[in-house]
Structures are given as C-alpha cells and as structure tokens.
Structure 1
Amino acid sequence: MDPSFGNAAYTRFFDPSGFKQPASPCIQHSQLFQLLQLFGRHLRAMAEARQQGFLPISEIARALAQPGFVAYYQPDWSEDERFALLNELRQLSGQQVLYIDMDLQIFEDLKDECRCMLLPILLKPHFALLRKLATIDSLQAMIDLFDEPDALMIKQLCSEEELDNTDILHKYYERLDNFRMAEKLGLVKDWKHIYDTKDSALAADIWQLWLDSLQTARIKDNTATPRPIYDYSSLFDTRNLSFDEVIVLNSIEGQLPQNPEPVWLFNERQLERMKLKHYDLIRKWERYYFLRLLLSSSTVYLYAYRDGEKDLEPGSYFTELSHFLAEESNWSQVRRHTTSIQVKDEILGMAQRELAKEHDKAKWLSEAGIKNPASDIESFLRLPCEGEKDFGGQFRSSYYGLNRLISNPFAWYIQYKAGLKECELLPEETVSPMLFGNIMHSFLGKALHSIKGEQSDINALEPAFARQELTQKLEGILQSKEYLYKIPKNYNLDFLNEVMLQLLVSSVRAFYDKWLKPRLEGKSFRIIPEEVESQRDQEGYKTLLSFGKGDRYVLKVKGRADLQVNTPETDYIIDFKTGGADTEQLLFYEFYYHRHDEAYDRELKSLFWMVKEDKSEIEGVKKQDVYNDWISYIAVTLMSCLEAGYRIGITAADRKYMETITRADLYRHQNREAQQ
C-alpha cells in the first residue's frame, strides 16, 4: 500500500514483473513525451539567452542522459559512443565552458584544449532542427514541422517497445487533431497577442502549450504479462477488501495519516459546521480503514523510519498500534514474527560488494594491510604513500598544490597525483568565484601591461588608470574568445556587466589612488606584472626544503604573484583577491621571489589587495618565526604522509573538498591506467 509506488525512485529495487501496472499508463513517462519535453527546454534556453545562438552544456548533458536522444540522430551508435560523448562534455566542463554555440565554432576555438570528435557530429543536426523549431509562430506552423524528412519525425522519437506494444502514435495524433482546432475555429488569430513574445520565445510558449495538452493522454499497453503477485493502491481504494498479505510502505506521519490539504474558500471549522468533509472526519475514516485492513488480513508488514534532519517520524497509527501490541494480553488472536532486516546482494552496488566481499582484490587495500575496512576505519580513510613513486627525486609544486597537501593530503593525492578533477556536467549559469577571479587576473594583466618596466614618475601612470581606459580594456576581454563560452548569457549577464565589472574597474582605480600613488610619489620604481614573470617562471623551481630519510626527497616550488613593485628602498609583492586570503600564500611568494636567496637583505613587504573592499589586507609578514613555523609545518606534513599515508582533512571545509568525486571517477581512472 503506497499510492506513489509506481513513480517512486525506490521501485527500481523491485522486480516489476511481480506488480500490477496501470492499465493505461500516462504518456508523460514515454520516451516520446520526454524527448518532446527536451526540445521544449532547449527552445526555452535559446529564448532566455541574452546572446543568440548558444545552448547551455547542462542541457546537452541532460539530453545525453536519454538514450533516445542519441538514437534519434545516430541510430547506429551504441552505449560506447554515448559514454564517449559524456567524456567529451567533461573536457569542455573542465575548461569552465558554460555554453556551446550553435555554429559549433567552439570545437575549433578550443581544439588545443579539448579533443571532441563525436559531439559536433551529434549536435549539428540537432541545432539545425532547433533553428527550424524556433521559427514556430502558430499551431499550424508547428504541425507542419511534424513528420517532415528535414524536421521532426515523430515515429523515430518513440522507443521500439512503445511502437510494438502501445497505441502511443494513435493517441498522439488524436490529441494533435483536437489541439489544432484552436486555430481552425478561429479562437486565436495571432499568438503574439496571446503571449506577447516573438522568435524562439514564442516558439517555446506554443511548444509548451502543446505539451500541456498532450501530457494528460493515457496510452494502452498491449504487452502480455503474467498475473501479478502484488497490486499497489491507496488506503481508501482498499475499503471493504481483505488480502492474504498487506505491505504498508511509508507508515510515517504525513502519509498515514495524511497531512491536511490546503483549504480553499472555507476553513476546517466552517466545513465541520456545514456538515461537509473536514480533516478530523477524514482522519477518523483513515484510522478505521487502516485498522480494518490490517486486522482482516493474514499477514501484515509495516515499514516506518525516522529522519531527524527532515523531521520525519513514524505515523501516529503505527505508533498507536505498537503501543497496543506492547501489552502481552493483547496478543490472544495475533501472532507476532520478528524479521531481521537483510539487504540482498543484488541490490547493492558493485563497488560496495567489492569492498564488502572482495576487498583483497583492491590493490591499495591489500598493500595497506587492511582486511576488514569497517574494523579499521582510521587506516581505511588513509591512502598508502609510495615515496619513490609519489615524490621521486624531486617533488615540484605550485602554491595551490602545496596548500592542498597541507590541508587535505587525501584530496591532494586524488587531484594532483591521480589527476582526477571535479567535473560539473550541470553547471549553473552564474558568475562563479572561479570565473570572476579569472576575469580579474586577465584584466590586471592587460591593465598593467602598458606600464611595466622602469618608471620615474607616478603621475605618468595616470592615463593607464583612467576609468574610461580601464573600462575599454575590460570590455575587450569579455568580448574575446577566451570568455565567449564561459560567461553566463542569462539574467546573470546583466549583473556581471552592471555590478561586478564596474566593481573591478573601481577597485583597480582605488588601488592606484589609495596604495600605489601614495607610496611611489617622488620615487623611481619598477612595475613587474604577472605576465612579465611568465618568462622567468620557466627558468625553474626554487628548493624549499628536503625531507625523508637522509633528506632523499627535495621539495621545489614556483608561483606567480599578480604584481611586484620595486623601489630603491623596498620590494613589494601584491596579490589581488576577489574572495578569501591566506597569509601562507604571501609567505610562499616571499620565499619564491626573495627569501630563497640567503644573501637577500632588502626590505620586503607583501600584501593582498581585496577587490571587493577596495583596501589592502595582511600587509607583510612581520615576524621571522611565522615564516619558520610555516616551513616546519610543511616538513611535518610530508613526513607524516611518508610514514602513515595520506589522511583526510581535519576541518569540515577540507573534508568536503572534491566531494563530487565518485567511485565512477575512480573506476574510470583505474581503467585508463590499465589501458596505458
């Protein structure tokens, strides 16, 4: 007994052949309807884009999740091609791409970063079809595109099972004939007056209207099935019936008894006074039929559970029955059987069975000497370290890699040694912190390029920091191919242009007025932006420390700060931040640029310029012991990894890092290593 059983996700754990299916399933669950719905979403996405001719990769990912989508355009492709398509989409997502242009120019522009062979083949006919669908401005214009060779072939949208075993095509065209009457009878002469939209937005509105009309249709399934063992129903549909066996799923509050429905027109008290059905009366009926069903059946199973986070508790009927049966005197006509909960192997995931039964086959587990992960959780949550393989003769790292190793060695190994990266196939069309930071660094590089080198007068830099000049440079960056596919093209584009980009211009100008000019007035100086350091960056790494037995391993580092300013008296290191700042990054830059040289004796200052606050923060590291403690902590962490393996992070934020990496990613990595 569970009225939502047919649509619930947990039904996949049950053999469907044992359950009575609805005689007339809804067309909404068919492949035909879901693909039509997908086309509607793509039309809507096209309409909502501020820049025409782009589709979010999240919509492409959702399309690839439906086998019927690939089969419609490429019927000869198998699951192997579909997995290859998803891998190509992961490559694009790894480059922070949000959109694919409908001219497919992205695959030419990013050919060095992403090797996509199948996606262009699949998307070319799909985008051609979307362009035709976007011209729909009436019902007849939409119907004219159905079953046209160069447009939408309805029959090919159906699965083989739907064509062989149901009357889905008959019901589809029957609804279509009724739907077209709105225009034939002259009820609507111009749909633009109804929706007040045009182009792809109007097409999306008309398409959605057709889906709303179609979704209530029910199809007849002619599949010959054996007599089912179980039927599923609701409580009131079991009235005056008895069964050999009753299974009540979700015996929780809100389901049994049901939550009160929203009232309309009259409240519960008014309904009661007018002798109409009200919640208290319905609840009494529920209780009566619930107890009658249970007590008139031979065997009953009740399933309930608790979830404190979601405020879910066993229902009052379940609790009342439990209290009643707790008294031994009430068992005269009832026999109680206690059944231990067992989960069958066939509904456990393959990876879980591997760990539970065949863990000796997992190489890293056996090497760590772990025979029973559940009994040795501390060891289970550590990856074994192989010094020679992981660090070799020289261990090279950037600041971000080193910082990850210190805070979460487990995640460092997954990301930097195994080479696994988080990949979001359904990215939100927003200005992410990473995107904003990348725009900021590109902007700084271009803004500082014209003033790099030796300078004798700070006032000579005034034109380079003029608001109009800065705005023009920023606009040029946003219109470049580098960001064409990465910048959101929905309403967030307005926020980016009107708020965030103006913030960048104002902050760079504030940096000149509040920090640069006061410190360099009347002095000669040298400006060294990040792009100039790119050449020096190739010269090599700087040795930070040695570690391991006999100092057999050497840690070398390199990095690039956003800006250096050198005066006759002082060397400055400045890093611009759009988010949080960590003092250890300044320590890293101080070492890389100057402290590695034991003969260095000039005054050194480092600081963060906080873009959103228009101010400097953490100006310099005042004490030598802070620097020494940082070096010491790195050495301790590296020795801990060598001796005990890679532990997980200590703080909650560190432990959640890379939480989207799944077993599937690990299996893919394992297969790639095996093939190599």
Structure 2
Amino acid sequence: MNFTYLDYHEDLFSKIISNDLPRIYVFDNTNNMLKAREYYKKPLLQRGSIFITISDLKEKLFPTDRLILKEEKLAVIFYELLTEREKKELQISDYFDAIEFASEFFNFFNELNEYGVKNIDNLRKWQEKKYNLFKTIRKRYRKRLEELNYTDRTLAFNFNNFCSHFMEGYNELVFVNIVNFTPKEKRLLKLLQETGKEINLVLQLSPDDFDEESLRLKSVTLPEELSSEIELYYTGERLTQMVNLISKMEAENGNITILDADYNNTCYHRLISPDKIDIDRDLSFTETKIYRFLEVIYNLLKNADSTDGFLRVELNDLLEACYLQEFRDYFSINENAVKVLQELAREEYAYFYPGFIKRYISLKRFGEVLEEIEKLRQIENINQLCNYLENLNLYFLNDREISNNITQYFDALLELNSLEEMGIVSSWDHYFKDKARGLFRMALNYLRYKKVKPVIDNQNKGNKLDSLFSAPHLSRDILIVLNASRGVIPSEAGNDFILTDRQRAELGLETINNLRLREKYYFYRHILNSQKTIIFSLKNLESNLTTSSFVDELRLKYGLDLKEAEITSRQLPAVIRRIFPAKPAALGMVSSVSRKEDKLVIETDDFPGNQMSLSYYRYTTLIDCYYKFYLEKLVRLAEDRVVVDREMSPLLFGNFVHEVFAEVLNRQGRNLNVSKEVVEEVIVDKLNSYRLQINNYYLPYYRKVLLPTVRDSVISFFRGLKRRVKGEIVDIKIEWQPEKSKDRVIFNHDFTDVFLNGRVDLIIETSDTRFIIDFKTGQGKEDQLDFYSLLLAPDYGSEKKVAKELYNVMKASFKAGAPGTEEEFAREISEEIKNFFEGGEYTTIYKSRCKDCNWMDICRVVIE
C-alpha cells in the first residue's frame, strides 16, 4: 500500500489524474468524483480509467442476486416485525412513529458491522435491556429477509460475496483524499492487495496528520506560514451576511467560489437570482406544486368526517388550500368564492359542508373538492391510492422551473406500489387506524425525500455556491465562506443512540471528536488551497451566536483581525434602495420615519349620509386608537388571510351563551322558576345548531366541562334574579335594539352627527323599576351599563328608577352598576368625540398591546 502526500497549496486533481494507464479512481463523494473526471482525457483506442465513489465500489465488488432493500422498505419491514409488547416498550403507536427509529436502528447495526463490533459488554442496565431487545428484533429481521429472499446493503457487504470481475484489466486503485477508513474498508484494501492490485492512497495533508496503521485522520496541523490571504468578518444576522457577500463579490476581481458551512439550512436559492449566484442544488420535492397540492388535499382528508350524515371538512383547511394558487387553478376556484369562504370564517364556522354549496352559487366548484375527498376516504390499499394519484391532472401542477418533477413523482409511485408486490406488508390494518389517511401520509413521506432539479439558464450563471463539506477539493482563486459559526462548524450533532460518546470510543466507533476532526480538515483544506479567503461568521450575543472555534484558531495562529462586516443592519434600508430602486413603496415599510411623516386626515367622505353610528364597542375602539377605528370600523378593512382557530373564540362562545339565555327567557316568559330540564334541553338544541361552528377536537371538552358550567350558571342567574326583581314584572325585552333616531344624537359636527346605537341583552320592567342586565362570558366594564342606560332614555323617559347589573356567566355572579353615573359618562363620550374631530387626523400612539394588533403591518406605528 503506497501513500502520497500533497501540500495544501497544490492542485490535487491535476497532480493525480493521469491519462497514460487505466486506473480505478475512488472518491469519498460524488462531487469530487465528477470534478476529477473533468481532468481526464481518455486515450484513443485504449481502455479508459474508472471514476467511482467508495460506496459504489463496494456494491460492485460484493454483488448479490437478491433484491437490496433501501430506506423506505426497511422502515416498513421494521414496523411489520414489531410485537405489541415491543411497540409499547419503544413508545411506538403507529407506523409514522417507527420511521425515524427504524433509521437509527439500521444505522446502529450497520455501524457495528462496519467497525467489526460483534457484541457490546459493560452496558448500564437500561442500555443492556434495550440492546438485547434490538438484537432480538435484528435476529427476526434477518430471518424474515431469508424467507423473502431479500437483503440490504450491510448484509450484501459480505466477504463471502467478494467478486473481482469488475476490476479485470485494471492493476491499480487510487483512493483520492479519503481521510477515514472503517475497519471493514481497511480489510477490503488488504484483500484487494492480495488479489494483486496496487493500492495508492493520495492525501492532501501533512504525513504527521494521518495514521497509516489505522488509516484514519489523527490531527490537523496548520502550516507555520500562510501562503494565502485571509480576511475574517462577522455579522449579526443572515440577511446582513448575504448583503455583505454580494458587496464583496462586486468588489473582488477574479474567479470567486462560495462555500456555505450551513448549506442545508439556508435558502439563498429563494432570494438571489442564478445570474448573481449559481447554486447547483437539488431541491426537495416538497418545493414543487405537486407536493404542495397533495399536502393541502391531505390536510382536508385528515380532518374530514361524516358524523352528522354528510361529509364536511374543516373550513380552515379549505381556506389554507384556497390560499394556494395551484389548488385554485386545479379546481377552477375564483377570487369571489374565496371571499365567500372568508366571510363564513368571519362568522366563525369551523366546518364546510354541502349545504353551503346550495346556499351560495359561487361555491359550486367546491362540490368537486368534496367529491375528491370522498374518493380518498374509500381507499383501502396502496394500489388504489397509486391509481388515484396516477390519474391526477398534472397540467395545473407541472412546475415549468423544475426539469424532472413529473418523472420523480411517478418514480415515487412505482416505489410505493412495490410495497404490496414485494409481500412485505401482511395487512395495512396493523399500520394505521384510518387506512386512507395513513396511506396518503405514507405517499407524502415517499415524495418528501425525492430531489428535483431547477431549470437554470446555463448562459448566465453567477458565482458558484456549494456546501463546504461536499464541495470538490479544488484549488481556488477567491473563496468566500459563509456561516462559520459555533454550532454549525464544528457541528453539535453526535450519535447517542443507546451508547454514550465515551462508550463509542472504547468500542472503536465514530465519536464526536472524529467527526469534528474531519470537519476541521475540510474547513482548513478549502481555505489553505485558495489564493484568497473571506470568511463570514454570525456573531450575536443576544442570540447566543459566536464565531467558530476553527476561525478563532486561525485568528490566533496567524494574528488575524476579526472585523465587523462593512454593511451593518443599520445600513440595510440604504442598501435595499440600491438593490430595489424600482420599488419605492416598499421602502416605507423599511423606514419607520417615513411612516411617521404620513398623515391620514379625517374627511367628510368617511361618514356617508353625514351620520356615524356609535355602539359601545365602536366607542372603545375609538378611544383606544383612532387609526384602528378608521380601518376596522369605518372602512371595515378585512384581513386577506383569515384563519379559523379550532377553539371557540370568545365572541362565538359569547353568542352561544347569549342565545341560551335568550331561549330560556323566551320559554319561561315572566316566570322566573326555571327547571334544570328546560335549561339542559335548550343547551343541547343550541349546541346542535352550532355543530358547524364547533370543532370536533374541542367538542368532548365543551360537553363535559364548559356546558355544565353554563347550565348551572343559567339556573343560578334565575335564582339571583328572583331576589333582585321586586314587584310584578310587567314586561321583558330580550336583545332589545332601538331604531336610529335623532333623539340619540350625542354629538354634532360639520360633516356628521354621532348617534348611539347598540343592543341590550335583557330589560325587565316592573311598575317602578327598569332593570338593565348585560351577560358577560369574560371581563366587563360598568360603563357599558351606563351606555345602555343612555341608549334607552329616549324610549323610556325618566319616570322609573334604573337598576343596572352585569352578570358574569362563568363565575355565576352579579355585579351592580353605580346609580346616577349616566350623565357623567355622556359628557366623557362627548369630550372624546370632540377631541377626535378637532385633531383632524386618524393618529397612532404606540402602546404595548400594539404588537398583537391585526393592523400593525399597515399602520407601522413608531415606537418612541
């Protein structure tokens, strides 16, 4: 076995790739293999060299006549093998709980196989219990594979299966910059030597850093003197890092490569045009129209039910689907239909059912949506699901920006369909409580791990951006490294499945230190093999972000300065102006100062008919915020994206309770001796009438806890009312609302008259007293009773005493309002309205609760 060591500044591939004799070149990853192949020119009429990754080499050298099961099939067979006792012990309730666990299980035994660990001793009691359980499952798994005549990659890598036919005509294998070999791979190299092959290991590092006996990296030594230029910068956030990256690219002259240490967790491909930065990155299938469409269909299916004799879906799920363009295109749903759905949401319906389609002609297309959900609910097996998915009309779901989304889609369906054909699954009943939902979710899982390629204009590619850890080992002119921060590089990840890191070290398995040493090597190799390197780190104490320890080592070793990047967050608005000069309106959202200078003036047109209705709640909004009053009460601006909560809103619950009280009062009339049976009957009737507005998720809680509380409170209310109302009742008015009248005008202005308006929950008249009662399911203020007293005055005169009561439904308690406070409250209202009009502007004043306001993004109130 021969070892060749290259200095960091040398061009690795040009040094080792030869055109004279045919060789087998073996690489640690696909990117290195593909890039190295570009350096090779096959001699005319001669056998060409082979370029291959080490994992593919193993498959070639250990062929099998059995079908090799891959990740998806392994998860299924793992779950299939578990007994009920094992599921309970491993806390696995269904198939989806087993997917991640299965992956760790197989990785664990694969690693034991690679490192030649036959058995593990000296375990703690809980570890030994788990290990013995896993060995039992593993034994059962191997037996099942024998019965099915299948295998997996680990079992196929068996030296009894070794076959050298693949290498005939090749005398030399060159392993290119592979810095770590497992014991099993080390044994393979010796076997290759025994077959007469020449083995050469080419490594770009110091000979002192590599252990030739164990064939592993043992250290990473920085050279005493730098032969390249290095600049170190930090930024507080990713956005400023990206802006500084673009700035540096514009300033530098030369061939630039960008490597990202956190490549898998960043989304530069969404933000930057390919002609600026070339990100040769396969996209997850989850970013395709097909997947997004199927995901919203699954959400509709997941929560659909027919407990009331008709199919219904959650309105929130349907709205979320309608916010997706491809869903609207697929079912030909127009904007007007979405607006009707939003109105139903504002009316706090939790479910959409066929009755709405009959009620609103614009919702006709949703009949087809319900038909599709009903079809899916009937699915019993994979074959039926695949038939359904194969027959989707992909015309509306084909991404023109992605080259292979359709082929990847059908590849996934073929793999999915093979599950039943392979005889792995005994019955889907063991996997899912609801087969249709479970199988559809399984299909989404298959698609999630597919990769697709974006269509890129090769004529206008920008500078290359790649992953730091998988980038080819090239020599570069200018290198820019992103996200060189602690927790990213070195990573915090470790393998703690059953074994501790210390136990792993004792067994000779991969440890966190081994992983970090390789990360350190890749980091330094890229830097030391470039003429100039610019490194960006994220450093923000508030977010607990610090620079990488690798960067700190560079800084200390070579006396480098770590500087704050030239463009800071304070300068971003100016930078955005330069980058987006054609969008001046967007700049107002960046600069709070421009919002402060804007004025929204009170105008006559704001009050059609020169009248303004003022209910109690409109009044409280007015005194809270003039700007909110304008948006919410005058122009009645609605949110574009309405979301329905599963839980009953306070408003909906309040309406429900008010209707219960109103119905009981209607049934009882002037008789205040209410029975428990009557109250329960009313509550059940009202609950049924609210079934489309109450989500099934919370329905058991409402029935068991909340509704009994309401029942007891209604009974308590009538008992308390009997004690308060003295004398014969002459009249009862429920939900009383006056006609609009000039008698209720409380303020006159040049371009509007402000009159009071509202609805009183309950008015009880005796011969000498008028009782005003307001029901509250939350907190209530006594001045609302004063408002109602003012509202009633023109109709009832002032010959009777007025008694005001708030009734807290949840606490089943009365709270009397202070007598004779109406006139003072009337003066307060007049004064507030006067100040509002004299100000002449819908002003904003920042308050702590502004951050929770629906209109915050519009008003952009300045915090002072």
What's the TM-score bracket when you normalise by the shorter of the two chains? 0.7 to 0.9
Q: Could you tell me how far apart the structure 1 residues matched to 2:787 and 2:717 are?
A: 23
Are 2:725 and 1:520 aligned? yes
1:50 to 1:108, Cα distance in 2 relative to 1, 3 A: closer
Q: Could you tell me how far apart the structure 1 residues matched to 2:808 and 2:564 are?
A: 68
Structure 1 unaligned segments of length 5 or more: list them: 75-80, 360-371, 665-676
Question: Counterparts of 1:121-132 in structure 2 under 5 Å?
Answer: 121=365, 123-132=366-375
Quote the residue 1:258 is aligned against: 491
- Asked if 2 retains the 8 angstrom alpha-carbon contact of 1:94 and 1:423, the reply is no
Quote the residue 1:33 is aligned against: 291
Question: Counterparts of 1:160-559 in structure 2 under 5 Å?
Answer: 161=400, 165-166=403-404, 168-195=405-432, 197=433, 201-219=434-452, 225-226=458-459, 228-238=461-471, 240-261=473-494, 263-272=496-505, 276-280=509-513, 282-283=515-516, 286-287=519-520, 289-290=522-523, 293-294=526-527, 296-302=530-536, 304=538, 306=540, 308=542, 311-317=543-549, 320=552, 330=560, 338=566, 343-345=575-577, 353-354=584-585, 356=587, 375=593, 380=598, 383-386=600-603, 389-390=606-607, 393-422=610-639, 424-452=641-669, 455=670, 460-462=671-673, 465-480=674-689, 483-488=690-695, 490-513=696-719, 515-520=720-725, 523-531=727-735, 533-534=736-737, 537-538=738-739, 540=741, 542-543=743-744, 545-546=746-747, 554-559=753-758
Q: Could you tell me how far apart the structure 1 residues matched to 2:640 and 2:779 are?
A: 23
- Asked if 2 retains the 8 angstrom alpha-carbon contact of 1:586 and 1:606, the reply is yes
Quote the residue 2:831 is aligned against: 635
Are 2:810 and 1:608 aligned? no
1:501 to 1:192, Cα distance in 2 relative to 1, 3 A: same
1:318 to 1:554, Cα distance in 2 relative to 1, 3 A: farther
Q: Could you tell me how far apart the structure 2 residues matched to 1:85 and 1:636 are?
A: 41
Q: Which amino acid aligns with 1:302?
A: F
- Asked if 1 retains the 8 angstrom alpha-carbon contact of 2:280 and 2:465, the reply is no
The structure with the greater share of residues assigned to strand is: 2
1:555 to 1:97, Cα distance in 2 relative to 1, 3 A: same
Residue aligned with 2:466, SS: coil
Spell out, residue by residue over 1:10-37, the C-alpha distance to the aligned partner (whole angstroms, 9 max, x if none).
5432003444455754433332233233
Are 2:860 and 1:659 aligned? no
Quote the residue 2:186 is aligned against: none
Residue aligned with 2:304, SS: helix
1:13 to 1:106, Cα distance in 2 relative to 1, 3 A: same
Residue aligned with 1:180, SS: helix
Residue aligned with 1:471, SS: helix
Quote the residue 2:9 is aligned against: none
- Asked if 2 retains the 8 angstrom alpha-carbon contact of 1:2 and 1:248, the reply is yes
Q: Could you tell me how far apart the structure 1 residues matched to 2:657 and 2:395 are?
A: 48
Q: Could you tell me how far apart the structure 1 residues matched to 2:550 and 2:609 are?
A: 63
Residue aligned with 1:16, SS: coil
Residue aligned with 1:562, SS: strand
Q: Could you tell me how far apart the structure 1 residues matched to 2:578 and 2:310 are?
A: 49
Q: Could you tell me how far apart the structure 2 residues matched to 1:56 and 1:561 are?
A: 33
Spell out, residue by residue over 1:34-91, the C-alpha distance to the aligned partner (whole angstroms, 9 max, x if none).
32333322221215978751112222233233333233334xxxxxx65444333323
Deviation at 1:516, TM superposition (A): 0.8
**Which is higher, the Rg of structure 1 or of structure 2?**
2
Are 2:425 and 1:153 aligned? no
Q: Could you tell me how far apart the structure 1 residues matched to 2:389 and 2:775 are?
A: 55
Are 2:303 and 1:45 aligned? yes
Structure 2 unaligned segments of length 5 or more: list them: 1-258
Residue aligned with 1:302, SS: strand
Spell out, residue by residue over 1:326-360, the C-alpha distance to the aligned partner (whole angstroms, 9 max, x if none).
x9x757xx99994575534486598x722748x9x
Deviation at 1:287, TM superposition (A): 4.9
Residue aligned with 1:58, SS: helix
Q: Could you tell me how far apart the structure 2 residues matched to 1:373 and 1:390 are?
A: 32
Q: Could you tell me how far apart the structure 2 residues matched to 1:271 and 1:190 are?
A: 38
Q: Could you tell me how far apart the structure 2 residues matched to 1:249 and 1:524 are?
A: 83
Are 2:356 and 1:106 aligned? yes
Percent identical: 20
How large is the Cα RMSD of the aligned pairs? Answer: 4.0
Deviation at 1:133, TM superposition (A): 1.6
Quote the residue 1:71 is aligned against: 329
Residue aligned with 1:621, SS: coil
Residue aligned with 2:296, SS: helix
Deviation at 1:220, TM superposition (A): 6.2
- Asked if 2 retains the 8 angstrom alpha-carbon contact of 1:584 and 1:630, the reply is no
Residue aligned with 1:159, SS: coil
Q: Could you tell me how far apart the structure 1 residues matched to 2:453 and 2:615 are?
A: 63
Quote the residue 2:198 is aligned against: none
Residue aligned with 2:496, SS: coil
- Asked if 2 retains the 8 angstrom alpha-carbon contact of 1:239 and 1:293, the reply is no
TM-score with structure 1 length normalisation? Answer: 0.76
Are 2:364 and 1:120 aligned? yes
- Asked if 2 retains the 8 angstrom alpha-carbon contact of 1:387 and 1:642, the reply is no
Quote the residue 2:348 is aligned against: 96
1:186 to 1:643, Cα distance in 2 relative to 1, 3 A: closer
1:134 to 1:553, Cα distance in 2 relative to 1, 3 A: closer
Q: Could you tell me how far apart the structure 1 residues matched to 2:498 and 2:441 are?
A: 31
1:242 to 1:573, Cα distance in 2 relative to 1, 3 A: farther
Quote the residue 1:366 is aligned against: none
- Asked if 2 retains the 8 angstrom alpha-carbon contact of 1:507 and 1:611, the reply is yes
Deviation at 1:593, TM superposition (A): 1.6
1:261 to 1:48, Cα distance in 2 relative to 1, 3 A: farther
- Asked if 2 retains the 8 angstrom alpha-carbon contact of 1:649 and 1:655, the reply is no
- Asked if 1 retains the 8 angstrom alpha-carbon contact of 2:357 and 2:367, the reply is no
Q: Could you tell me how far apart the structure 2 residues matched to 1:24 and 1:161 are?
A: 15
Deviation at 1:591, TM superposition (A): 1.4
Q: Could you tell me how far apart the structure 2 residues matched to 1:587 and 1:563 are?
A: 14
Residue aligned with 2:538, SS: coil
1:221 to 1:348, Cα distance in 2 relative to 1, 3 A: closer
Residue aligned with 1:461, SS: coil
Q: Could you tell me how far apart the structure 2 residues matched to 1:335 and 1:589 are?
A: 66
- Asked if 2 retains the 8 angstrom alpha-carbon contact of 1:246 and 1:299, the reply is yes
1:605 to 1:62, Cα distance in 2 relative to 1, 3 A: same
